[in-house]
Structure 1
Amino acid sequence: MNDPLLPRHLETELKDALASARVVNIIGPRQVGKTTLVRDLMTIGKFITLDDPGILAALDADPKGQLDALIAEVQAGPLIIDEAQRSTNLALALKRTVDENRKMGQFVLTGSSNIFTSSHVADSLAGRVQTMTMLPMSVAETKRMGPARILDWASADGGPDPTELPKAEVVSRAQYIELILAGGFPEIRSLGDHRRRRRYRDYVDSVVERDVASILKIRKSDAMRRMIEQLAVRVGNELNVDDLGGKIGIQRNTTETYLDILTKLSLLKRLPAWTSGENGRDIRQPKIHLVDTGLVAALRSMSTETFNIDANPTALGGLFENFVHNELWKSLPYQKRDWRLYHWRHQRGREIDIVAEADRTLVGFEMKTSTTVDASDFQHLQWFQDEGPGRSWTVIGVVIYMGDRVLSFGRNLFALPLSVFWSFPDFPA
C-alpha cells in the first residue's frame, strides 16, 4: 500500500504562495510527492511534465513561444510545469513572461533542483518567485495530523506550559523504531524491510544517474554513491571533510563539490554550529543529517533486529537524532516565528544536539533513546541555560525520549515523548 493522496502540509503554503507570487517554485528530492501535490491534490491549472521528451524539445527550441501557447490553453489557475530542471532555457523565458504580466499565481514549477540558480536570473526575479522545499512525509502527515508546533509551544508568551501540549500518542519502543526505519518517502515507507531497503538503494542510483548528472558531469559516479553511503554512517556527527574524502578516495575540492550538490538536491542538511560570539570555546564544525532515516537505515543495512535489547546500544543514537532533526526541519514553515536550526558543542565536551533560534529565544533539544528520563539527562541544557552562552538569552531545554509522558524538570526544562511530533490536531491559525 502507498500513500499517494495523503494530505500534505505544504498544500496550505502552496495556496498562500499562489496569491502572493507570480511563480511558485517547489524543489525537493525525487519521489517525495511533488508531482502528486501539484497534479492530484490541486484541482485547478494545467499540468505538463518535462519528462515528456516532445514537450521538452519544443520548450527548448522556442521557450517563449511555447510558454505563450501553453498559457493560452489554461482555463483557470496556474500552468504547472513538472520536472522544470530538465530545461536549460525555461528560467529566462519565465522571466520575460512574468515581466509582461503582473498576475499572481501564473506558474507552479517542481523539480529536484532550483532552475533559478543564475545570479542574473535570480536577481531579476526577486519578488516574483517564491521557492519552497518539499521533503519526505512527516509522521504527522502519515497519520493525518497537523504540523508539529513544538517551537510555538516552547516560545509562548509566559513560557511553555505542559498542559497546553496535546496528549501524545502512546507508542512502544518497537513502534518508534519501525517509524524511524520506514522513513517518509510515500511509495517506499509502507513496504516490508527487505523490499524497502532494496528500493532505497535503487533510489540512490537514480539520484546519482539523473539528478546529480543534471547538475554536474561526474566522471566516477561510484564515488558519489560511496559518499552517500559514508554520510549515512556519519549522521548526527560533525563533518570532517578531509576524513570523508579520504575514505572515498577523492580530493578535498571534489568532496566539497559533491557535498554542495547533495545539499542543493535537499538530500543533505549541514547543521551549522551555534555560537554566542562571546568567546572562542565553541566548536564551529557543522553536523550532518540526511533527508530521510529510511534511506539511512537502508544504506546501513539496518532492520528491526539491529535494535534488539541485546544489540549495540549506540546503534540507534545517530539515527534517532537524524529523525528528530528531520521532523523539526519539516515543521519550520508552520511555526509563527522564523526559526533556524543549529547544534552546539563546547571544547570541554558539553553539547546540545539541536538548537533552534528565533528572536533572542533558544530551544535546545537533546535526544535519549530510552523510555525513561532523569535529571542527569538535562545537565548540558541546564549548564548552557544558567552558566553557559545561553545565560543572556531566553532558553528552553527539551529532552526528546521514547516514553509516553510529558515531564517537567525545573525552570524551562521538559522531557517530551517523541510522539508529540504527531499529536497536534490542526494547522496554526
Structure 2
Amino acid sequence: MEDTLLPRHLRAELLDSLRSTRVVNIIGPRQVGKTTLVRELLDVGRFITLDDENVLAAMEADPSGQIEALVSEANDVPLIIDEAQRSKRLALAIKRIVDERRRMGQFILTGSSNVFTNAHVADSLAGRVQTLTMLPLSGAEVQRKGPARILDWASRTPEPLLRDLPKPEPVSRNGYIQELLAGGYPEIRNLPDRSRQRRYRDYVDTIVERDVADLIKVRKSDAMRRLIDQIAARTANELNVQEMGSIIGVQRPTIETYLDVLTKLSLMSRLPAWTSGEAGRDIRQPKVHLVDTGIVAALRNLTSESFLADANPAALGGVLETFVHNELLKSLPHQQSHWRLYHWRHQRGREIDILAETNRTIVGFEMKASSNVDLNDFRHLQWFRTDGPGSAWNVIGIVVYLGDRPLTFGSKLFALPLSSFWSFAAD
C-alpha cells in the first residue's frame, strides 16, 4: 500500500459537484478508493456503510426514518452512505428528503453500481443528482502528475506541435511492462507478483459473489466467472456474443444480461464501432476492454516472462491497447471538449485501435508494442484521413509506443511514448 495517499483527479470534480448538486453519486469498481476519497481526502460528513448487515437491515426496514435521523445528526455536512447499491429502498427515501430541502451537498453515495436505476426515481431527480465514475488509478495519479490532456493537445489549431507537449520521462521496456502488470488498484498494485495476481483473482471472485448478486440473481455463478475469464482473454478484441455463449454453455440472452451487469459494475466497457455512414463498409461490432490490465494479467497468468522477445507479441499488444483505452477513458472528464471513444475497422481489413471524436475532429490511436516506430505504422491512419471516411474530418494520428521520445512523421502524425500519459504537470 502507498505510504501516503495518492492524488485522485476526481477530487476537484467531487468538490465542485458538492457545491452545485444536492446528491453526489460516486460509482465504480470495488476497492478503487471511493471510500478513501470521501472519508480521508475530504474529511467531512457523517459516514455509514451498508456493508454492515445491521445498518442495512435497519435501512431496509425503515429507510425514510433512518435517513431523516441521520440527516438531522449530520447537520450541515454531507451524509456519506457507502455501498449504497445494497439497499433497494434507499433511492426513494433520498428523493423525498431532497425534494423537501434545497441545500446543496446533502448526500454523497458510493457504490459499485448506480443506486438510481429505477427510471421513475432517476427522472424525478434530474438536475439534483450528479453521478461521477471512479476507476482504478491512472498512470498520472500513480506518478503524482496532472490528468493526461493529450486530447486537448492533439486538437489544437491549426495543428498540434511537439514543443507544446510536456516532455515525457524515459521509461524502459521492462518498466512499461511492470506498469501494465501492476494495474491500478491502490491496495494491490504494489504487492509481489504472486500475491498481486492472487489478490486480483480473489477480487474477481468477490465481485461475482457479492456485487453481481446485488443486481441480479445468477443461477450459475461459475458461468459468470468463466465469462470474465473469456473477456480477459479477448480484451481489446471485438465482442462476439454468440461465440462466448457457445464456449461457456449458456444462451445468448443470458450472456447479454451478464455483460450488461459487468458494464454496470464498471468491470468492463464496450467500445462502440465508429461508422462512416457508408453502408456495408464498416464493421460494427464493439470491442471489449476490462477495466484494469492488472486484472487481465492475473486472469491470464501473464508475467514479465510472457513478454520476452521470443514470446507472442500479440499478447502484449492487446494488454497495451486496453491500458491506453483505460487511460483515455479516465482522462475524458478533464479535457476542455466533450469527447467520445470508438474503434474502427473497414471490411477490407484496415483498422484503427481507438478513435476519439469531438465536433469535427478525430484523434486516432494505434498501438505499437515496441520501442521502435516507423512510417509504416501509420498506414491505416494515413488511409483513413486521406482516402477513407476521415477525409472530411480534421484527423490527427498518434502511434503510442514503448520508446522514450515523441516523434513527428509529417503533418498531424505523431509517435508518442506511453509515458506521455503521465507527463502533464499537476494542477
- Partners of 2:212 and 2:259 lie apart in 1 by 11
CA offset digits 1:286-341 (Å, max 9, x no partner): 00100000000000001111111122222211111001101111101100011110
CA drift at 1:373:
0.6
Please name the residue that 2:133 is paired with. Answer: 133
| 1:82-161 alignment runs, 5 A limit | 82-161=82-161
For the pair 1:52 / 2:52, whether they are aligned, the reply is yes
Could you tell me whether the CA contact under 8 Å between 1:177 and 1:304 is conserved in 2? yes
SS for the counterpart of 2:24 is strand
Please name the residue that 2:66 is paired with. Answer: 66
Could you tell me whether the CA contact under 8 Å between 1:4 and 1:187 is conserved in 2? no
CA offset digits 1:154-174 (Å, max 9, x no partner): 011322111011010100000
Please name the residue that 1:166 is paired with. Answer: 166
Could you tell me whether the CA contact under 8 Å between 2:181 and 2:294 is conserved in 1? yes
Please name the residue that 2:248 is paired with. Answer: 248
Judge which range, 185-194 or 303-312, deviates more: 303-312
Identity between Structure 1 and Structure 2 (%): 69
Judge which range, 289-298 or 63-72, deviates more: 63-72
CA offset digits 1:23-80 (Å, max 9, x no partner): 0000001010011111111121111111122222222121112111111111442111
Structure 2 unaligned regions, length at least 5? none
CA offset digits 1:249-307 (Å, max 9, x no partner): 11101010100000000011100000121342000000010000000000000111111
SS for the counterpart of 1:316 is helix
- Partners of 2:58 and 2:242 lie apart in 1 by 45
For the pair 1:230 / 2:230, whether they are aligned, the reply is yes
AA in 2 matched with 1:65 = G
SS for the counterpart of 1:104 is coil
Please name the residue that 2:293 is paired with. Answer: 293
- Partners of 2:33 and 2:3 lie apart in 1 by 9
| 1:25-424 alignment runs, 5 A limit | 25-424=25-424
- Partners of 1:75 and 1:102 lie apart in 2 by 14
Judge which range, 368-377 or 44-53, deviates more: 44-53
AA in 1 matched with 2:404 = D
- Partners of 1:238 and 1:54 lie apart in 2 by 44
Q: From the superposition, tell whether residues 135 and 153 of structure 1 become closer, same or farther in structure 2 (CA, over 3 Å).
A: same
Could you tell me whether the CA contact under 8 Å between 2:144 and 2:426 is conserved in 1? no
SS for the counterpart of 1:14 is helix
Could you tell me whether the CA contact under 8 Å between 1:321 and 1:367 is conserved in 2? yes
- Partners of 1:313 and 1:266 lie apart in 2 by 28
CA offset digits 1:217-243 (Å, max 9, x no partner): 111100001000000000111010010
Could you tell me whether the CA contact under 8 Å between 1:44 and 1:76 is conserved in 2? no
TM-score, structure 2 as length reference: 0.98
AA in 1 matched with 2:17 = A
- Partners of 1:313 and 1:147 lie apart in 2 by 29
- Partners of 1:69 and 1:396 lie apart in 2 by 55
CA offset digits 1:164-185 (Å, max 9, x no partner): 1101010000000000000000
SS for the counterpart of 2:108 is strand
CA drift at 1:358:
0.6
AA in 2 matched with 1:60 = E
SS for the counterpart of 1:315 is helix
AA in 2 matched with 1:97 = I
CA drift at 1:3:
6.0
- Partners of 1:5 and 1:33 lie apart in 2 by 10
Q: How many residues align?
A: 427
- Partners of 1:238 and 1:53 lie apart in 2 by 40
Judge which range, 180-189 or 150-159, deviates more: 150-159
- Partners of 2:4 and 2:186 lie apart in 1 by 7
Question: Alpha carbon RMSD of aligned pairs, Å?
Answer: 1.0
TM-score, structure 1 as length reference: 0.98
AA in 2 matched with 1:52 = D
Q: From the superposition, tell whether residues 265 and 193 of structure 1 become closer, same or farther in structure 2 (CA, over 3 Å).
A: same
Judge which range, 268-277 or 307-316, deviates more: 307-316
SS for the counterpart of 2:93 is helix
SS for the counterpart of 1:25 is strand
- Partners of 2:77 and 2:396 lie apart in 1 by 44
- Partners of 1:155 and 1:56 lie apart in 2 by 48
SS for the counterpart of 1:35 is helix
Could you tell me whether the CA contact under 8 Å between 1:235 and 1:290 is conserved in 2? yes
- Partners of 2:327 and 2:394 lie apart in 1 by 23
Structure 1 unaligned regions, length at least 5? none
Q: From the superposition, tell whether residues 3 and 398 of structure 1 become closer, same or farther in structure 2 (CA, over 3 Å).
A: farther
- Partners of 1:425 and 1:340 lie apart in 2 by 24
Could you tell me whether the CA contact under 8 Å between 2:355 and 2:362 is conserved in 1? yes
Could you tell me whether the CA contact under 8 Å between 1:167 and 1:423 is conserved in 2? yes
SS for the counterpart of 1:305 is helix
Q: From the superposition, tell whether residues 222 and 3 of structure 1 become closer, same or farther in structure 2 (CA, over 3 Å).
A: farther
Please name the residue that 1:24 is paired with. Answer: 24
